[in-house]
Amino acid sequence: MQGIESYWGRRALDFVDAIEASATGASVMSQFEKVIRDLGFHAYIMAGIPEPGQTLAQVTVANGWPLEWFELYNRENLSAVDPVPRHCFNTLNPFEWKDAPYDRERDVAARNVMTRACDFRFHEGFCIPIHYDDATGAISMAGERPYLDAETKSALHLMSVFTHGRLRALTRSGPQGPSRRLSETEAEVLRWAARGKTAWETSRILGISERNVRWHLEEAQRKLMAPNKTATVARALVNREIMI
Amino acid sequence: MPEIHVVRKDNSHLYEHYFDSYFRLRYDIYVKQRKWMALDRPDGREIDQFDTKEAVYLFAIDAGQLIGAMRAVPTLSPTLMSDIFPYLNLRGPIRRPDVYELSRVFVIPERRGEHVGPRVEMLLLTAIMEYGISIGLTAFSIVLESWWLPRFERIGWKAHPLGLPHQMDGMSVLAVLVDCDEATWKSLCGQLGMSGPTLTWRGLSDVNRRALPALSVLPPAAAQQTR
């Protein structure tokens, strides 16, 4: 055990050093893909757990699923019935897909997701939940017969969390990524709303008309598919489209 | 808003009345709630071999009540990482005058996840950075639960792993080294909307302190007034 552990321990630390020194998301992801391939995984995703009204595509940080599966998953909104993302709310620790609990007799929808995943050579998977105060996400990966002993799971855990963190740091420091849906004015208006300003107060602060402020709020609400202003602010914060 | 007090051997006599509740709170949190039974003691207080004269404590005190705390131990002395969990650190022992090890970071349950004012844990994480800069530290070593990592990343605490996570009593735990620098402190202050230092150094006027950087970022309230 000690021998394998020091091998994967060393390899995981070297990996983290390398991605911390990498300047682009593309370079970080190609290193991540290589190392998980060595462990028998051919597909992965890093994403928030979609809330009701959100699709997986809207909360995806990095997408390494086969295109067909990603489209199917979004089109049929499988995140609503998939036991793997659901289990992320109930545990702080990484887990194998087979250990995500669901009622194998009655929960036909959940069983179907797992069965259909096999069509994409997703026979076994490993999932690492990511918890923030106000949001939950996950890094999930799949393969036909991946290495999933205690040491490689630890190494995967470490490498995945740091890859996810590095990607976020690079996105934050670089120009706004394509994931951002709000215009600068919409984001500005929401930032003031988040601080409790009324539309009228925001109009005074920004020197635009109140009607204009309301219009930007409406637009933001529509883009984020939120039911009201409070939910719009909440979603913009969770999605990191605004920061207070 | 809670005050964050520096408590160390040179001023601990001023905080004697807090220490009893401090060790009882640790017992409630680490033994009763988290079930770290190795720390169990018959007197209902959790005190370990690292609570020495070298240890530095941050006490979060609100209206005379201790609501959170953190412990820092110099890595030139024995630490959790060196004596209890050496296998978590594959990069080699850390024994440096400019690195302290953090442990026993907690907020009492009633004050967790508050939505009024800054969060107590954020205040503690900001305050320890201020302490580190003030006394010339460059990093903190920590043995912590892995779920902290995304939270550290989100608030801008730069953590470097020292080894693989291990399962301990059903929790994934690992060792990290976190940068202690001015940029991180300034960013934390900006996130909290703080315009200046927060630490209270009661009875520590003899301590030689380095200057803190000026905070250039205005808190939201001030930004509003200048418009």
Residue that terminates a domain, selected from A150, A173, A196: A173
Residue A178 lies inside a defined structural domain of this protein: no
**Which residue of chain A has the CA closest to B191?**
A244
Verify that A207 and A121 share a domain, yes or no: no
Name the residue facing B113 among A133, A137, A158 (closest C-beta): A133
Residue A43 lies inside a defined structural domain of this protein: yes
Mean pLDDT of A33-54: 92
How near does any CA of chain B get to the CA of A243, in Å?
A: 9
Verify that A107 and A13 share a domain, yes or no: yes
3-state secondary structure of A190: helix
Q: Which residues contact A183 (CB under 8 A, 6 or more apart)?
A: A216, A219
Q: Is the CB of residue A8 less than 8 Å away from at least one CB of chain B?
A: yes
Residue A46 lies inside a defined structural domain of this protein: yes
Decide if B227 and A94 are in contact by the 8 Å CB cutoff: no
Verify that A78 and A161 share a domain, yes or no: yes
Neighbouring C-beta atoms of residue B227, cutoff 10 Å: 8
Verify that A120 and A31 share a domain, yes or no: yes
Burial class (CB in 10 A: 0-12, 13-18, 19+), A24: exposed
Residue A244 lies inside a defined structural domain of this protein: no
How near does any CA of chain B get to the CA of A16, in Å?
A: 8
pTM assigned to the model? 0.81
Number of domains within chain A: 2
pLDDT 10s digits, B154-170? 889 999 999 999 998 88
Verify that A47 and A16 share a domain, yes or no: yes
pLDDT 10s digits, B7-38? 999 999 999 999 999 999 999 999 998 888 88
Decide if B172 and A133 are in contact by the 8 Å CB cutoff: no
Please state which CATH class domain B3-205 belongs to: alpha beta
Q: Is the CB of residue A11 less than 8 Å away from at least one CB of chain B?
A: no
Verify that A138 and A34 share a domain, yes or no: yes
Q: Where are the domains of chain B?
A: 3-205
3-state secondary structure of A154: helix
CATH number of the domain that residue A139 is part of: 3.30.450.80
Verify that A117 and A198 share a domain, yes or no: no
Residue that terminates a domain, selected from A173, A205, A229: A173
CATH number of the domain that residue A192 is part of: 1.10.10.10
Name the residue facing A6 among B90, B149, B160 (closest C-beta): B90
Q: Is the CB of residue A92 less than 8 Å away from at least one CB of chain B?
A: yes
Burial pattern A209-235, b for ≥16 Cβ within 10 A else e, equals eeeebbbbbebbbebbebeebeebbbb
Name every chain B residue with its beta carbon within 8 A of the beta carbon of A94. Answer: 172
pLDDT 10s digits, A102-159? 999 999 999 999 999 999 999 999 999 999 877 899 999 999 999 999 999 999 999 9
Q: Domain limits at A193?
A: 184-238
Verify that A169 and A198 share a domain, yes or no: no
Decide if B149 and A161 are in contact by the 8 Å CB cutoff: yes
Residue that terminates a domain, selected from A173, A201, A225: A173
